[in-house]
Amino acid sequence: MKYIIWFFFIITLISVICGFAFDLAYSKKLIGYGVLGFFFIVIPLFSWYRWKDKNPKDYMLNKENLDKMRKREGDKRR
């Protein structure tokens, strides 16, 4: 999966660079497709890949997690 993300990232990066570097009739389309590919393909794949084995409740600031953090840091405000 990591290589698929890298592949799409390289393709979108090349598309944007070619759109800026070469004076073609479709340069703006290359830039646009590169940006769309980055935001609609690369970012969601990367986010899913990084978060697939994690529990989002561990990262939410609720009463229990705040109490655990304060206990760990030795805060006396409980």
Q: Tens digits of per-residue pLDDT, 12-56?
A: 999 999 999 999 999 999 999 999 999 999 999 999 999 888 888
| HEC readout, 39-58 | HHHHHHHHHHHHHCCCCHHH
- Model confidence, pTM: 0.69
Residue-level pLDDT at 60: 83
Residue-level pLDDT at 35: 96
